[in-house]
A = this chain, B = another copy of it.
Amino acid sequence: MKQNGLDEMPPAGATIQEVAKAAGVSKTTVSHVLSGNRPVSAATRRRVEKVMAELDFQPNFFAQALTSKRSNSIALIVQDITNPYYPALARGLQLSVARRGQAVMLFDAGGGEQFADTFVNEAIQRRVDGVVIAASGMASGLARLQKAGIPVVAVGSGLSGLSVDWVSADDERIAGDAVRHLHASGRSRLATIAGPRGAAPGDSRLSGFLDAAASLGIEVLPQHVAVADFTRDGGYEAMERLMGTDSSPDAVFCANDLMAIGAMEAANAAGLDIPSAIAIVGVDDIDAASLVRPALTTVHIPVEEIGQAAGDLLLHRIDEGGGASYRQVLVNHELVVRASA
């Protein structure tokens, strides 16, 4: 098998033997300085590190990983990297973990076309130092990672029952805030375009919607609960179904902005004025939310902060190991009132 060009790589500075000789220590001591696995006196460490710098010693990354059992890589498994939520999450995660020399390995489930579990297997095989998982159907993957002793942080709601570190927006309260805003502005025939059932955050936002409506004495008709797949096209089709019902709604809470934007397009196409004939609220506050006309009223989620919090939890878990109690972080959201509701 032909190698990947590394065979022709110029020799990278000194060897570990040369470092050991120049520093007057054994090869094993140099290894310990590199791996940090065994205590080395501060004076010896300083001397070895000085020699490494002088001789332009480049440690072999794989050998180091083999010794230290660390890959200095974090796997990030996301549902759909082309959904603007996930790039912001990736940026926040990198901001957190890069401080500690960790790089982010990205696994994009392609909008669910690939099973997140395949990536979990790959993360285990690659012996990453930790995993952040933000994809649907992640429960079995979480269990497997924990069994393999790999630190993991989950991003997303519906996880409060699990023994795992997680970060989430407060999805039930997000839906509740949207419902209260619609109610306060005089809407009474509420509908929702929910995310896929049986998975977060679709379920949590739907139950938050139904609970808030009930507590305000608003009856939600069964045909006013439409389910879609968090995409713009899905939102468009769900809105067409809602408008085709006998008693059409005067407000729609959409479980994300992409579906809300699709719903706005369907309403426009049907000649319904937004917001006078129908009010529409989204969730996320993606860039496009302020670009559409009328500008979309939505719930802002600080996604980059979620990524940073996930990174911080993961680094903590990597340092402290397994066991102990689990940390669960809910980030704050904010209703952003624009023109659509």
Residues of A in contact with B (beta carbons under 8 Å apart): 1-10, 36-37, 58, 60-63, 65-66, 69-73, 76, 81-82, 84, 86-88, 90-91, 94-95, 103-108, 110, 122, 125-127, 129-130, 147-151, 232, 261, 287-288, 291-293, 317-322
Q: Does the CB pair A36–B1 fall under 8 Å?
A: yes
Which B residues lie within 8 Å of A319 (CB)? 2, 4
Closest to A122 in B: B103
Asked if A73 and B5 sit within 8 Å, CB to CB, the answer is: no
Partner of A91, one of B72, B73, B82: B82
- Is the pair A318, B5 in contact by a Cβ cutoff of 8 Å? yes
Contact A62 B71 (CB under 8 A): yes
Report B-chain residues with C-beta under 8 Å of the C-beta of A3.
69-70, 321
- Other-chain contact of A87, B81, B127, B148, B150 (Cβ < 8 Å): B81
Closest-CB distance, A204 to chain B (whole angstroms): 25
Using CB atoms, name the residue of chain B closest to A72.
B126
Q: Which residues of B have CB within 8 Å of A60?
A: 66, 127
- Copies of this chain assembled into the complex: 2
Bound-state Cα–Cα, A81 to B91, Å: 7
From B62, B84, B107, B317, contact of A84 by CB (8 A): B84
Question: In the complex, which residues of chain B have a beta carbon less than 8 angstroms from the beta carbon of A103?
Answer: 105-107, 122, 126
Chain B residues whose C-beta falls within 8 Å of the C-beta of A130 in the assembled complex: 4
Closest to A152 in B: B5
Q: How far is the CA of A105 from the CA of B95 in the complex (A)?
A: 15
For the A-B complex with A94-B107, A104-B105 known, give 16 more contacts whose Cβ atoms are closer than 8 Å.
A3-B70, A4-B69, A5-B321, A7-B321, A9-B149, A58-B125, A61-B71, A61-B126, A73-B105, A82-B91, A84-B84, A86-B87, A94-B106, A103-B122, A106-B106, A288-B288
Q: Contacts A108-B90, A291-B261, A293-B292 known; A149 to B5 CB distance under 8 Å?
A: yes
Q: How far is the CB of A73 from chain B (nearest CB, A)?
A: 7
User: Taking the nearest CB of chain B, how far is it from the CB of A302, in angstroms?
Assistant: 13
Assess A148 versus B322: contact at CB under 8 Å? Given A82-B91, A104-B106, A291-B291: no
Q: In whole angstroms, how far apart are the Cα atoms of A318 and B2 in the complex?
A: 9
* Residue of B with least CB distance to A148: B9
- A321 to B3 Cα, complex, angstroms: 7
Tell me the smallest distance from the CB of A295 to a CB of chain B, in Å. 10
In the docked arrangement, what's the CA distance between A270 and B335, Å?
28
Partner of A66, one of B66, B70, B82, B129: B66
Do the beta carbons of B4 and A321 come within 8 Å of each other?
Answer: yes
The interface residues of chain B lying within 8 Å CB-to-CB of A8 are 149, 321-322
CA distance A137 to B87 in the complex (A): 22
Contact partners of A5 in chain B: CB under 8 A: 149-151, 317-318, 321-322
Q: Which residue of B lies closest to A294 (CB)?
A: B293
Cβ–Cβ < 8 Å partners of A69 in chain B: 3-4, 6-7, 62
Flag if B73 contacts A81 (CB, 8 Å).
Answer: no
Measured CB to CB, the nearest residue on chain B to A150 is B5
Give the docked Cα–Cα distance between A37 and B4 (Å): 12
Instruction: Note all chain B residues with C-beta closer than 8 A to A4.
Output: 69-70, 129-130, 151, 318-319, 321
Q: Which residues of B contact A293 (CB under 8 A)?
A: 292-293
Tell me, rounded to whole Å, the shortest Cβ–Cβ distance linking A170 to chain B: 23
